[in-house]
Amino acid sequence: MRIGELAERAGTTTRTLRYYESRGLLTARRTEQGYRTYDEDDLRLLQQIRTLQDFGFELEETRPFVDCLRAGHPAGDACPASIAVYRRKVAELDGLIAQLQAVRAQMGAQLLRAEAELPHGPEPRCEMDMATDTEG
């Protein structure tokens, strides 16, 4: 298939495919006329790259998965290098989750402190609420 068809089937642009080619992630074969041609394996590589990028992987982090598929494995994560990237990304996520939990705990504590310092009695009303009450 030609580059336009591959881009359409992969849900991307020809510009992106040329960029992947320049980065060595996609290899085009050329016709006698110089047109790029691709096959179903190339589509599978692109689907792997896009899935990983949807997970938040940087483009270069997809390389071990692409290399694994090119080596003939049925899945891009069937190689030790791919599993190492997964482990690193899971560790990054764990770190981010821990940071968010710490921020959540601090914010919750601040909320409790702020609520405890509120004067007791009826909450102040907005002027707009008061205007609505007198109109009805």
CATH of the domain at 111: 1.10.1660.10
What's the pLDDT score for residue 119?
78
What's the pLDDT score for residue 92?
95
Residue 97 lies in a domain: yes
Residue 133 lies in a domain: no
What's the pLDDT score for residue 82?
97
Tens digits of per-residue pLDDT, 77-131? 999 999 999 999 999 999 999 999 999 999 999 999 998 888 775 566 666 655 5
Q: How many domains does the chain have?
A: 1
Compute φ and ψ for 77, nearest 5 degrees: -105, 25
Alpha-carbon distance of 47 to 66, in angstroms, equals 10
Boundaries of domain holding 84: 3-116
Residue 131 lies in a domain: no
Alpha-carbon distance of 73 to 84, in angstroms, equals 16
What's the pLDDT score for residue 26?
93
What's the pLDDT score for residue 125?
62
Whether residue 42 has pLDDT greater than 80: yes
Residue 30 lies in a domain: yes
Residue 134 lies in a domain: no
14 class by beta-carbon count within 10 Å (0-12 exposed, 13-18 middle, 19+ buried): middle
Residue 125 lies in a domain: no
- Mean pLDDT, the chain, as a whole number? 89
Whether residue 65 has pLDDT greater than 90: yes
Check if the beta carbon of residue 112 is closer than 8 Å to that of residue 105. no
What pTM was computed for the model?
Answer: 0.73
Residue 34 lies in a domain: yes
Whether residue 37 has pLDDT greater than 70: yes
For residue 118, the surrounding DSSP H or E stretch is none
CB atoms within 10 A of CB 28: 17
Residue 93 lies in a domain: yes
